[in-house]
Amino acid sequence: MRFLSMIRIDETTGQVPSEQLMADMGTLMEELTRTGQLVSTAGLKPTSEGVRMRLQRGGKISVVDGPFTEAKEVIGGYAILEAQSKEEAIELTRRFLAVHGSDWDVECEVRQLAGPEFGCKP
């Protein structure tokens, strides 16, 4: 089964990962990639470089340039995980969070990808 772990951050803190955090994260990602548990991962550019698009009733599409001031927490990155169960995906995400140590305030939302090709029956 595949799961999406979305990393939520508060962009307003200006917190930057230390070299140690980046090294520890690299070690974890190498391990999970080698075992086949990490399919894909990436950080996202700040919302100031993005746009938000919305389809409204009647077919009108609106586009708003970032940053999105009304949003305190934003998706800062993601990981696609291969896991045997929701519990395993939670444990993998727990390991990701633990690497950050006590100086960070990070949240992850873990959700299974839908569809038979991802191990999810309709």
Q: Which sequence spans correspond to the domains of the chain? A: 2-118
d(CA 37, CA 89): 9
Are the CB atoms for 83 and 38 separated by under 8 Å? no
Q: What is the pTM of this model?
A: 0.86
d(CA 109, CA 88): 14
Q: Which architecture does CATH list for 2-118?
A: 2-Layer Sandwich (3.30)
**pLDDT confidence tier of residue 118, bands split at 50, 70 and 90:** low
pLDDT in tens, 10-29: 888 888 889 999 999 999 99
